[in-house]
Amino acid sequence: MIQRAQALAALSENEFDLVVVGGGITGAGVALDAATRGFSVALIERADFAAGTSSRSSKLVHGGLRYLQNFDLALVREALLERQLMVALAPHLVHPLPLVVPAFDGARPDRLMGVGLNLYDAMSVDRDRLRSRRGKRARGERAQNASAMGDELQETARPVQPEEGESWSPERHRIVSGEEVLELLPALAAREPTSGYLFYDCQTDDVRLVLTILGEAERFGAACANRVDALSLLQRDGRACGVRALDRESGEELEIRAANVVNATGVWADRLGVAAADEDDDEASVAGLDHAAGDPSAGRSVGESRGASELPRIRPSRGTHILLRHEDLPLVGGAIVPADAGRTIFALPWLGRTLVGTTDLDYEGELDHVRPSGEDVDYLLSAINTFFETTFGVGDLAGAYAGVRPLISSGDPKKSVDISRKAELYEASSGMLTITGGKLTTWRRMAKLTVDRIVERDSREAPCRTHEIPLGQGVAVEDLPRVEGVPEKSYAALAGRYGYAAREVLALAAERGELAQPIVPGLPDLLAEVALAARREQARSIGDVLLRRTRLGLLAARELPVQRVADVLARELGWSPQDAAREIERFAEEAEAEGIRADSAAPAVAEGAAASHVREAGEPEVHSA
C-alpha cells in the first residue's frame, strides 16, 4: 500500500468517481470492484483498516452449514460458490479446512446431519461452469480429431484451460473411522470416537484478506487512508458530491470530492453522520433517503424522500471467540461441537492456536471496542470442556475477542422475526449508497451489487471483473530466500500471510539483523513485520500491529512484548521516547477495552434472544420503494 501521507495528498488534490467510507471487508471490496472497472476511487477509514467486524470473524470462508436449518438455501448456495472462487483467487490466504462431526460409543453419525451435508455437497457445485467446461472440452476434442484432416483445421484446436475458480472443489462428505477422526482431532483421544462425518470448508486470516484486497485496489489506482473520519456529505443541488472529512492524526479537515458516495461502515451504517453541507448554501440539512431510487426504465420506481430514518436499522449481534494453546487442545482439523439449547460451535486450528466460537446474541453497547462477556466465555468453555472432557478455565486462555455482526432490523417491534443476515443496498435521495449486512465470505457479491448500481446510474458499460482478479501472488515456501536468524517455521507463516510479498519482510530482516527475531519467542511472527507494517501498510499504533497486522494480540495476549514492538515503530514513525511511552499506555487501554485477556471480560448487557431466534437468510437485494 502507498504511504498514508501520499494517500492523504491524493485525497485532497484529486476529484474521484467514487469515495468509499469504511475500510473493512465490504469497503475494500467496493474499492477493488470499482477500481477494476475503471473508476477513480478514494477510500477512508475512521480507525484502522479492518478494525471493526472484519477483524473479529470466525475466520471461516464457508457456506454456513447451520443456515440450512432455517432453509436459507440461497444464502448458502451463494456463499459456497464464493468460497470456491476465493480459493482460486487467493490460495495462499484462503485454504481448505477439514471439519469433523464425531460419533461415539459405536453410534451411527447423526442422519439428519448427513442429509444436511448431502445438500451442502450438492450446492457446492457450480453447474453453469461445469457445463461450460464440459462443452469446451467436447469442442476441443472434436477440433483435435478434425485436425488430423488438415493443417487448416489444426489451427482451430486449442488445449482447454480450466475456468477461473475451478482449481479447488471440495470432496463430498463421507463417514470416516474413529482412527481417522483422531488423526484430525487428537484432543478427543480420551473419548475414543468410533466414527464421524468428514466434510470441508475454508479458512483465512480475515484482516490479511482485507489488506490484500486494499492493496489490489491501490494497484488499480485507488487511494486509501486510515484514521480519516467522514464528518458530513458534500452536496450540490441536493446530490452527494463527496464528503467532508477529518484527519484524526493532524486534526485538519479536508474535502474529498467524488461523483458517488458509498457508506460501507458495516455495523455503523445507521450511525454514519449524514449532515449535508450544500455547496450553494452553507446551512446544514439532513440527507433524506429513497429506497433505491432509480431509472424507471430499469424496472424500479422512483421513491420519494423519506428522511434519515430510512437508513438501515442495524441490530448488532455479538460473537465471542476464545483461543487456547495448541498443545492444550490439539486439533489438525476442525470439530463441530454441541453446545446448549441444541446449538453447535466450532473448535478450529488457526495460526498455531485452537480457536473456539462463536456466540450470537443481541448486543447494546459501545461499538468501537467490543469485549467478550463473562457469560459468553463461560458458555464456550462449558461446551468444549464437556465435549473434550477437559477442565479449562479463563486462566488457560491464550486470548479472546468479540465482534458485532451488522444484522438488519425492520425496526418493527411487533414482528417476532424482524432481522436478517442478508446483504442489502439502500439508496438515499442524495444518491449516497449504503451497503451492509452479509458476511465475510460474500464480500465480493456485496461489492458487485453496489458498483453495479453505480454503473447503471452512470449508464456505463463496465462489467464486474473481480471474479478474475488474483488477490496477491502466492509463493512456495521453498522459494523464499533464507535469512540468517529467521526461524525455519517463520517461512511458512510468511508465505501464508504475504505470499510473494514475504520477500519484502525477509529483505528487512536481512538489512537489520535484529528484525529477524520473533516478536514473541516460540511464535513465527518477526520484528521485520512490524517495520513493514509501518512502511507499507499504514500501521500507526501498537494495536495496529499486534491486533491486526499480526494477530499476536489474540494468539498470545498474556505474553506480549509491547516495548519491543514500540521500539521498532518508534524508529519507523519517528516517535520520541515520550511518544513511545504514550503509545504503550494507549495500547494497554485498548487491550483492556478489547478484553483480549478474557480475565476482565465485560458483564452481560442486553443479551436478548439467542441466535436461534434470529432470521439469517436471503439473497442480497436492493430495497425499492
Quick: pLDDT tens for 69-97. 777 788 899 999 999 999 999 999 999 99
Q: Determine how many CB atoms are found less than 10 A away from the CB of residue 405.
A: 26
Q: Which residues contact 525 (CB under 8 A, 6 or more apart)?
A: 490, 493, 518, 519, 550, 552
Quick one: pLDDT at residue 243? Answer: 97
Grid cell of 550 as nine digits: 499480526
Quick one: pLDDT at residue 128? Answer: 55
Residue 147 has pLDDT above 80, yes or no: no
Strand partners, 350: 353
Quick one: pLDDT at residue 68? Answer: 78
Quick one: pLDDT at residue 133? Answer: 46
- Mind listing the pLDDT tens digit for each residue in 566-587? 999 999 999 999 999 999 999 9
- The pLDDT confidence band at residue 600, using thresholds 50, 70 and 90, is low
Residue 314 has pLDDT above 50, yes or no: yes
Quick one: pLDDT at residue 462? Answer: 97
- The pLDDT confidence band at residue 341, using thresholds 50, 70 and 90, is confident
Separation between Cα atoms, residue 318 and residue 360, nearest integer Å: 6
What contacts 24+ positions apart, CB below 8 Å, involve 576-585? 583/541, 583/542, 584/542
Separation between Cα atoms, residue 500 and residue 199, nearest integer Å: 30
Let me know: does 430 contact 260? Beta carbons within 8 Å. no
Higher per-residue confidence, 600 vs 299: 600
Torsion of CA 548, 551, 553, 556, to 10 degrees: -170
Q: Which residues contact 250 (CB under 8 A, 6 or more apart)?
A: none
Separation between Cα atoms, residue 301 and residue 295, nearest integer Å: 7
Report the SS3 class of residue 503. Answer: helix
Quick one: pLDDT at residue 544? Answer: 98
Q: What is the pTM of this model?
A: 0.87
Quick one: pLDDT at residue 112? Answer: 86
Higher per-residue confidence, 537 vs 360: 537
User: Taking residues 93-122, what's their average pLDDT?
Assistant: 93
Separation between Cα atoms, residue 592 and residue 138, nearest integer Å: 62
- Mind listing the pLDDT tens digit for each residue in 251-275? 999 999 999 999 999 999 987 654 4
- The pLDDT confidence band at residue 278, using thresholds 50, 70 and 90, is very low
Where do runs of H (alpha helix) occur along 220-294? none
Domains and CATH numbers, the chain: 60-126+166-203 (no CATH), 477-556+558-594 (1.10.8.870)
Residue 471 has pLDDT above 60, yes or no: yes
Separation between Cα atoms, residue 399 and residue 237, nearest integer Å: 51
Quick one: pLDDT at residue 313? Answer: 84
Residue 282 has pLDDT above 50, yes or no: no
Separation between Cα atoms, residue 586 and residue 601, nearest integer Å: 19
User: Taking residues 33-37, what's their average pLDDT?
Assistant: 98
Separation between Cα atoms, residue 82 and residue 86, nearest integer Å: 6
Quick one: pLDDT at residue 622? Answer: 40
Separation between Cα atoms, residue 16 and residue 505, nearest integer Å: 33
* Most confident by average pLDDT, 154-158, 435-439, 490-494: 490-494
Q: Determine how many CB atoms are found less than 10 A away from the CB of residue 384.
A: 22
DSSP 8-state assignment for residue 303 = P
Give percent of the chain above pLDDT 90: 72
Strand partners, 254: 245
Q: Which residues contact 142 (CB under 8 A, 6 or more apart)?
A: none
- The pLDDT confidence band at residue 410, using thresholds 50, 70 and 90, is low
Quick one: pLDDT at residue 78? Answer: 93
Burial 183-201 (b: 16+ CB within 10 A, else e): ebbebbeebebbbbbbbbb
Summary mean pLDDT of the chain = 85
Burial 154-176 (b: 16+ CB within 10 A, else e): eeebeebeebebbebbbeebeeb
- Mind listing the pLDDT tens digit for each residue in 477-534? 999 999 999 999 999 999 999 999 999 999 999 999 999 999 999 999 999 999 999 9
Q: Determine how many CB atoms are found less than 10 A away from the CB of residue 273.
A: 16
Burial 587-599 (b: 16+ CB within 10 A, else e): beebbeebbbbbe
176-190, 265-279, 367-381: the lowest-pLDDT one: 265-279
Separation between Cα atoms, residue 140 and residue 74, nearest integer Å: 34
Task: Give the helix/strand (H/E) hosting 197.
Answer: strand 195-203
Residue 157 has pLDDT above 70, yes or no: no
Quick one: pLDDT at residue 419? Answer: 58
Q: Which residues contact 316 (CB under 8 A, 6 or more apart)?
A: 267, 362, 363, 364, 367, 404, 405, 406, 407
Let me know: does 319 contact 403? Beta carbons within 8 Å. yes
DSSP 8-state assignment for residue 547 = I
Residue 309 has pLDDT above 80, yes or no: no
Phi/psi zone of residue 100: left (φ > 0), alpha (ψ -120 to 50 degrees), beta?
beta
98-107, 286-295, 527-536, 599-608: the lowest-pLDDT one: 286-295
Torsion of CA 186, 597, 93, 170, to 10 degrees: 40
Let me know: does 226 contact 4? Beta carbons within 8 Å. yes
Grid cell of 393 as nine digits: 478455565
- The pLDDT confidence band at residue 126, using thresholds 50, 70 and 90, is confident
